[in-house]
Chains A and B, each alone.
Chain A
Amino acid sequence: GDSVTQMEGPVTLSEEAFLTINCTYTATGYPSLFWYVQYPGEGLQLLLKATKADDKGSNKGFEATYRKETTSFHLEKGSVQVSDSAVYFCALFTSGTYKYIFGTGTRLKVLA
């Protein structure tokens, strides 16, 4: 079945460091891919998305490219801030079956 695999956390970085959070997926159809972010005590909110191969989603300095050949959607940011500390979830969505699958989440902690 369809699945999403994220790198285990926590990820601890110093402010202004480069961030990569790996996400790979398996899917039988042509899913859309998402990154959601959850700040402490809050619900998940959409960070960025890509709906087809080679699309790049970007928001707030974060980027991810939909790579069909490697079935990946890695999240990157060039310079993290303390305010980026949160849990990041990779997810896939297939509209045909209306199936939404979340990864297990990766906790990011950024130190000043």
Chain B
Amino acid sequence: DAGVIQSPRHEVTEMGQEVTLRCKPISGHDYLFWYRQTMMRGLELLIYFNNNVPIDDSGMPEDRFSAKMPNASFSTLKIQPSEPRDSAVYFCASSPRRDTGELFFGEGSRLTVL
């Protein structure tokens, strides 16, 4: 079975540029999560969706960040404009059901903003 697929794996961009990260969850999973991982702050939940609907976006740092899930098999996380402090590894994860709690993570997208 294919796992959670993220792209790009690595992105290097300059401050002020728009960045779009993509995620394909595991088929049949109803929940999708975006996390950010840094050395200083650890693993932070940015937003999660249930059946393509955003449920909790309280972790989104500011208006420069936006996330969409237009259908059950695709989600994007966009940063516009990007800043050096956005440099991190961004993980997408999906989960099949509310009660199991198990998350399936992608391999992450490492973002470097110069």
* A contact residues vs B (CB 8 Å cutoff): 32, 34, 36, 41-46, 49, 89, 93, 95, 98, 100, 102, 104-105
Mostly helix, strand, loop or mixed at chain B's interface?
A: strand
Q: How many positions in chain B have a CB within 8 Å of any CB in the partner chain?
A: 21
Interface residue from B4, B43, B56, B106 paired with A105 (Cβ < 8 Å): B43
**Chain A, residue nearest B6 (CB):** A43
Separation in Å of the B100 CB from the closest CB of chain A?
Answer: 8
Q: Are B101 and A34 in contact (CB-based, < 8 A)?
A: yes
Return chain A residues, CB-CB under 8 Å to B55.
98
**Chain A, residue nearest B33 (CB):** A100
* B contact residues vs A (CB 8 Å cutoff): 4, 31, 33, 42-43, 45, 48, 55-56, 91, 93, 98-99, 101-108
> Can you list 8 pairs linking A and B with CB atoms under 8 Å apart?
A36-B103, A43-B108, A44-B93, A44-B105, A49-B102, A89-B43, A95-B99, A102-B42
